[in-house]
């Protein structure tokens, strides 16, 4: 009887396993067919969730767009990583087609060597790379066209830009969908658009300006101008200085007519190239800023211990790592994430940024966007010109206990910076007459509420602070590691009145700082840096004294020193050994807390968790044994 029961149980077990296998395969097949596009993103930063900006762009398409995805299968066979990446690109493009409601048409093509499809890819400007010894080229890119023969391409999907895949694809679709792009007027006193210098190679435009041109129509204003064209919606000022009253008045009246302003001002523009006609110095639009309701502190730079970037500098003959308090690496804690301009920004890098404050009696609303922590200090801008003592800035830092604002949005009613009307340009009756004619159109108050974003840093624009330039297949590739360009594009888009690109952000912010470790390291450095420098100075003085005495020894090695001098040398050498030991102790103290934390983490990961799991398993086993013992029948 028991044997029959065991046989039945064995059969049932086998049948159960078989049914479970069939059910598992059936469910997977059904899910693959019906829920192929369904995804659950469990990453902390939602790296695989389409942003609102992408959905806005796709759902607002008015005209059809054709996207041609070119991928050489042989390239994927040779490099499996490319095949995996290509699958992700194709899946994302298929989602774009679904969300667009049919406005996007997708064509997937395999450009084999010497085929018509390869000729088509080359015509669109896609970049091929050799993948075998015969020199055959493989293609991995996208070419898009719209109904009016507009064209946009991604020449090659490099693995370095995989975190920015959605950003690149959505930007391509947006460029094809936007026929009448917003117009941005550019007033720059820095070489943001590149140019030529005598005896040097031509310099390219700054990367952020090139990216703005991909999405907006940028009109460069002349050095002097008397009016801002009416079609300009946003005026972008970069380190404005040396502007005539006529140009300042043109900006003022542009704002009074309802124009929007994105201004990058700076007390110490590190990218400025000084010249005979343009000596280095702070931005100069105080008159306009005052009328907009804010004050720019022109001789101070915002320093911060918590956001300071760590750099390597030569100090006392050695390379040492120190926190450069004038360079700020901001994170979400330093941003007003309720504002659309910075809502999706994870991090920003600034270089010797200035300080702005609300003006007394202002009628506008001052809303900080970027701020330091409370461990900040206003540093004299003069200390950051010429030879900079980074170690001294850190050593002498005195936290103020308050936050300093480095960027703000200013909104509300504003009055003209020229209450008496337009300035007089030239002399004589003709100039007076021209001024009178212009005075008839003068606006003393803004027709629409002011909307301006003021950033007290120009270096935030230069890619040297926020991206690496890598050479991939002979081409220069920009790989961002901070959200500076996203911040600038968001600001331009927001001020231009559109909302489509506000959620269009890069997904490349992979930096995961160990905040506790950074805090421990910072406190240790501040505690021991002064003592370390004192010991180094004493060591150098002691060595100099020994060298001064030993230099009097004879060439044959016979000492010509007195007994007292020999004793002094012995004492100095003993002191030098003691100082070296103390210096080693101080240097060890810089890492003792971090090493202690590291030891605890290793213990938790290597020993503590397995021990806890083992203990839990032992408790469960004992509990089961006790439970079975209680229910087991007693046999006589």
Q: What is the pLDDT of residues 480-501, one digit of tens each?
A: 999 999 899 989 988 986 555 5
Helix (H, G, I), strand (E, B) or coil at 615: helix
Highest mean pLDDT among 414-418, 575-579, 607-611: 414-418
Q: Which residue has the higher pLDDT, 321 or 447?
A: 447
Cα 55 to Cα 501: distance, rounded to the nearest angstrom: 10
For the chain, give the longest Cα–Cα distance: 130
On whether the CB atoms of residues 295 and 357 are closer than 8 A, the answer is yes
Cα 207 to Cα 479: distance, rounded to the nearest angstrom: 11
Average model confidence (pLDDT) across the chain: 83
Q: What is the dihedral of CA 415, 420, 422, 425, to 10 degrees?
A: -150
Element (H, E) at 31: helix 2-34
Mean pLDDT of 205-229: 92
CA distances (Å), 333 to each of 173, 278, 304, 338, 374, in order? 33, 37, 13, 12, 11
Per-residue model confidence (pLDDT) at position 589: 64
- The 3-class secondary structure across 442-500, one letter per residue, is CCCECCCCEEEEEECCCHHHCHHHCEEEEEECCEEEEEECCCHHHHHHHHHHHHCCCCC
Highest mean pLDDT among 48-52, 191-195, 474-478: 191-195
Q: How confident is the model at residue 265 (pLDDT cuts 50, 70, 90)?
A: very high
Q: What is the DSSP letter of 216?
A: S
Q: Is the pLDDT of residue 390 over 70?
A: yes
Cα 530 to Cα 527: distance, rounded to the nearest angstrom: 7
Alpha carbon of residue 80 to chain centroid: 30
Helix (H, G, I), strand (E, B) or coil at 189: coil
Q: Give buried/exposed letters for 535-565 (b at 16+ CB in 10 A, else e).
A: bbebbeebeebbeeeeeeeeeeeeeebeeee
User: Between β-strands 234-238 and 183-188, what pairing exists: parallel, antiparallel or unpaired?
Assistant: parallel
User: Which residues make Cβ contacts (< 8 Å) with residue 422, sequence separation at least 6?
Assistant: 249, 435, 438, 439, 442
Here the tokens at position 241 are 């200085």
Per-residue model confidence (pLDDT) at position 555: 47
Q: Is the pLDDT of residue 603 over 90?
A: no
CB atoms within 10 A of CB 355: 21
Per-residue model confidence (pLDDT) at position 275: 64
List the one residue out of 211, 150, 151, 146 whose CA is nearest residue 184.
211
Least confident of 49-53, 213-217, 250-254, 275-279: 275-279
Least confident of 398-402, 444-448, 465-469, 555-559: 555-559
């Amino acid at each position: 009887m028991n044997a029959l029961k065991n046989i039945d149980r064995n059969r049932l077990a086998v049948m159960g396993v078989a049914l479970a296998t069939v059910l598992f395969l059936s469910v997977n097949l059904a899910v693959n067919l019906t829920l192929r596009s369904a995804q659950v993103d469990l990453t902390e930063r939602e790296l695989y969730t389409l942003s609102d900006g992408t959905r806005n762009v796709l759902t607002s398409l008015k005209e059809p767009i054709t996207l041609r995805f070119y991928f050489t299968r042989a390239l994927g066979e040779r490099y499996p990583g490319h095949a995996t990446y290509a699958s992700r690109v194709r899946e994302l493009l298929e989602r774009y087609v679904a969300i667009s409601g049919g406005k996007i048409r997708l064509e997937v093509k395999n450009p084999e060597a010497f085929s018509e499809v390869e000729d088509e890819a080359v015509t669109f400007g896609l970049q091929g790379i050799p993948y075998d010894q015969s020199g055959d080229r493989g293609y991995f890119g996208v070419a898009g066209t719209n109904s009016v023969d507009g064209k946009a391409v991604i020449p090659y999907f490099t693995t370095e830009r995989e975190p920015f895949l959605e950003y690149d694809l959505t930007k391509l679709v947006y460029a094809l969908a936007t026929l009448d792009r917003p117009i941005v007027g550019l007033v720059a006193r820095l070489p943001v658009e590149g140019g030529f210098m005598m005896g040097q190679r031509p310099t390219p435009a700054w990367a952020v300006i090139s990216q703005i041109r991909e999405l907006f129509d940028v009109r460069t204003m002349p050095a002097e101008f008397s009016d801002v064209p009416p079609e300009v919606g946003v005026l972008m000022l970069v380190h404005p200085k040396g502007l005539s009253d006529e140009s300042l008045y043109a900006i003022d009246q542009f704002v009074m007519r309802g124009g929007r302003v994105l201004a990058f001002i700076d007390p110490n523009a590190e990218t400025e190239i000084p010249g005979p006609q343009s000596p280095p110095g702070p931005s100069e639009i105080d008159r306009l800023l005052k009328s907009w309701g804010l004050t720019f502190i022109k001789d101070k730079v915002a320093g911060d211990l918590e956001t300071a970037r760590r750099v390597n500098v030569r100090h006392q003959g050695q390379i040492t790592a120190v926190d450069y308090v004038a360079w700020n690496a901001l994170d979400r804690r330093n941003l007003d994430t309720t504002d659309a301009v910075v809502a999706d920004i994870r991090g920003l890098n600034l270089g010797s940024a200035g300080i702005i404050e609300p003006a007394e009696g202002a009628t506008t609303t001052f809303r900080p966007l970027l701020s330091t922590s409370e461990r900040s200090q206003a540093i004299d801008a003069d200390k950051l010109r010429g030879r900079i003592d980074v170690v001294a800035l850190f050593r002498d830092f005195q936290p103020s206990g308050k936050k300093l604002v480095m960027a703000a949005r200013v909104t509300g009613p504003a009055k003209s910076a020229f209450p008496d009307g337009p300035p007089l340009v030239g002399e004589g009756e003709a100039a007076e007459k021209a001024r009178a004619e212009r005075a008839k159109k003068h606006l003393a108050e803004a027709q629409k509420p002011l909307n301006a974003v003021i950033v007290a840093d120009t270096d935030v624009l230069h890619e040297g602070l926020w991206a690496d330039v890598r050479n991939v297949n002979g081409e220069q590739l920009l790989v961002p590691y901070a959200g500076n360009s996203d911040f600038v594009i968001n600001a331009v888009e927001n001020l231009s009145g559109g909302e489509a690109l506000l959620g269009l952000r890069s997904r490349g912010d992979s930096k995961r700082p160990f905040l506790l470790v950074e805090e421990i390291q910072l406190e240790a450095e501040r505690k021991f840096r002064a003592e370390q420098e004192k010991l180094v100075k004493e060591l150098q003085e002691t060595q100099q004294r020994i060298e001064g005495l030993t230099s009097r020894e004879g060439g044959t090695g016979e000492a010509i020193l007195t007994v007292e001098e020999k004793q002094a040398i012995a004492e100095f050498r003993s002191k030098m050994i003691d100082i070296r030991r103390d210096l080693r102790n101080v240097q060890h103290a810089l890492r003792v807390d971090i090493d202690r934390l590291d030891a605890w983490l290793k213990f938790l990961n290597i020993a503590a968790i397995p021990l806890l799991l083992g203990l839990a398993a032992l408790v469960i086993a004992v509990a089961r044994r006790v439970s079975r013992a209680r229910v087991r029948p007693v046999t006589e």
